[in-house]
Amino acid sequence: MWPENVGIKALEVYFPAQYVDQQDLEQFDKVSAGKYTIGLGQSKMGFCNDREDIHSLCLTVLHNLMDKHKIKPEDVGRLEVGTETLLDKSKSVKSVLMQIFEPHGCTNIEGVDCTNACYGGTAALLNAVNWVESSSWDGRLALVVAADNAVYDIGSARPTGGAGAIAMIVGPNAILPLERGLRASCMKHAYDFYKPNFHSEYPTVDGQLSIKSYLSSLEECYQKYCEKLKSKEKLDTVSLNNFDAILFHSPFCKLIQKSFARLAFIDFLNTPKDKLSEKYSEAKQFHHLKLEDTYFNRDVEKTFTTLSKEDFLQKTKPSLLISNQVGNMYTPSIYAGLVSLLVSRSPNELCDTRIGLFSYGSGLCSTFFSLRVAPVESEELLELINSLSYVKPQLEARQKVMPEEYTHILALREKNWQLAPFEPQSDVSNMFPGTYYLVNVDEKYRRTYKRIPNII
């Protein structure tokens, strides 16, 4: 029988135990007060010192997820990883994660890595869902891991960094199933953000092009998704009213408020002028405009940000908690948005809701899809929410690092990039329980890790 309600059964998020404050960073960078905190909408930025890398981030979040949800290695038939933080041009991060399974004699696990900027996590999730829905499925669970260390060179992009990881259990009868037949993608060739320089951890970025590419992909995906929903459910119109929550890949929170306003603008353009409610009387002057001519139109932006503010606060703001506190995690970003939503709403508020998700990765790949939360308040939903009760206290428990030290740590990472042999120096005593850390890299670039004991 075709498995029903395939989707996310549980999630785990991980972020490093230290952060830099964006207000401190504004002073240190000598930019005008408010540029990062108000202009970009960011409060804190998580980052990795020399003890953490993509392997350790993935090992940490996966092991923590399996511990918490008592997943036995033999229960797992597929493991997918999404990341753009590459340490190796051949060996997958997935193969490193097999260290958790091999001691139990479990090597029959499909899946490798998915890479395309911040989209890799979604590619991994869609692969996992497709596997469970396919003739290849053998009844076991799929696990998805998405992680990145998002660091930028000194300059205007640096405050939009972050770091973290997500792990998800995918299977049938999920609390958060993906809605079947409701996905729309936009994939194009663009040089908006890319990593052509293998000698550096930093990307090459065209900031304005990346924002325009993000917004234009969002619009294409949203319009196509709305058409699919219209036809599937035989509706006359589809708009933001058809969603209880909308989550976005979040490079920085201000872009998300602007993105939400763009969707409200699309709904407005899709409504015949004579059918617009009183609320839009002043906005009618924009009804003749074409979407593609308005990316940087301040009047349109201001008008629709104001008109959509209440909906934004209700449907999207709760999902920006981790983004605001940690920054852009790249591939995990949108799923950290899902965690943020789950820890901000009661089970009763979540039941039977439709959650729209927009995933974007520069270069570019993007998809709009949706989850439909199970209709009744079940034990599983309560368990899922309870399993995330550590998120808010752990965000607060992080250590604040001053910008001077943060800059020094990034300079050291630069200096030691791809160095072998290498022994990291940072203290491990402040790491959260369950965190893996790098012990050394030997002369053949082989990496060894240890784990801070977990408390379950």
Whole-number Å distance between alpha carbons of 244 and 374: 13
Tell me how far CA of residue 402 lies from CA of 18, 38, 149, 325, 450, in angstroms.
10, 20, 19, 16, 27
Backbone angle region of 34, left / alpha / beta, with phi > 0 → left and psi within -120 to 50 → alpha = left
* Pair of tokens at residue 112: 């490798």
Q: Is 84 a catalytic residue?
A: yes
End-to-end CA distance of the chain: 36
| Among residues 362, 366, 367, 370, the one that binds ligand ACO under rule CB under 6 A | 362
Does residue 154 bind ligand ACO (CB under 6 A)?
A: no
Part in contact with ligand ACO (CB under 6 A); list of ranges 35-43, 265-273, 287-295, 444-452: 35-43
Q: Report which residue's Cβ sits closest to ligand ACO.
A: 39
Q: Whole-number minimum distance, CB 307 to ligand ACO, in Å?
A: 17
> Which of 133, 130, 88, 135 minimizes the C-alpha distance to 113?
88
* Pair of tokens at residue 331: 């591939």
Whole-number Å distance between alpha carbons of 441 and 435: 18
Place of tokens 């293998």: 198
Q: Whole-number minimum distance, CB 256 to ligand ACO, in Å?
A: 10
Does residue 135 bind ligand ACO (CB under 6 A)?
A: no
Whole-number Å distance between alpha carbons of 3 and 262: 36
Element (DSSP H or E) covering residue 450: strand 447-451
Cβ-contact 320, 256 below 8 angstroms: yes
Q: Where are the beta strands (DSSP E) in 3-56?
A: 7-14, 18-21, 44-46
Q: Whole-number minimum distance, CB 267 to ligand ACO, in Å?
A: 21
Does residue 156 bind ligand ACO (CB under 6 A)?
A: yes
Q: Whole-number minimum distance, CB 333 to ligand ACO, in Å?
A: 8
Q: Whole-number minimum distance, CB 160 to ligand ACO, in Å?
A: 4
- Residues contacting 161, CB < 8 A, separation 6+: 45, 47, 150, 151, 152, 327, 328
CA torsion through residues 185, 187, 191, 197, sign: positive
| Among residues 211, 215, 326, 338, the one that binds ligand ACO under rule CB under 6 A | 211
Compute how many other C-beta atoms are within 10 angstroms of the C-beta atom of residue 11: 23
| Among residues 160, 257, 308, 324, the one that binds ligand ACO under rule CB under 6 A | 160
Q: Whole-number minimum distance, CB 116 to ligand ACO, in Å?
A: 12
Q: Is 118 a catalytic residue?
A: yes
SS3 10: strand
Smaller CB separation from ligand ACO, 65 or 147: 147
| Among residues 73, 180, 191, 207, the one that binds ligand ACO under rule CB under 6 A | 207
Query: Of 118, 186, 253, 365, which residue is the catalytic one?
Result: 118
Q: Whole-number minimum distance, CB 33 to ligand ACO, in Å?
A: 6
Whole-number Å distance between alpha carbons of 424 and 444: 16
Query: What is the per-residue binding string for ligand ACO in 287-326, x denoting contact by CB under 6 A?
Result: ----------------------------------------
Q: Is 249 a catalytic residue?
A: yes
Does residue 202 bind ligand ACO (CB under 6 A)?
A: no
* Pair of tokens at residue 223: 């319009």
Does residue 410 bind ligand ACO (CB under 6 A)?
A: no
Part in contact with ligand ACO (CB under 6 A); list of ranges 29-37, 56-64, 306-314, 385-393: 29-37
Does residue 45 bind ligand ACO (CB under 6 A)?
A: no
Cβ-contact 206, 229 below 8 angstroms: no
Smaller CB separation from ligand ACO, 64 or 160: 160
Count of positions on this chain that bind ligand ACO (CB under 6 A): 20
Residues assigned a catalytic role: 84, 118, 249
User: Residues interacting with ligand ACO, by CB under 6 A?
Assistant: 32-35, 38-40, 118, 156-157, 160, 193, 205, 207, 210-211, 214, 251, 328, 362
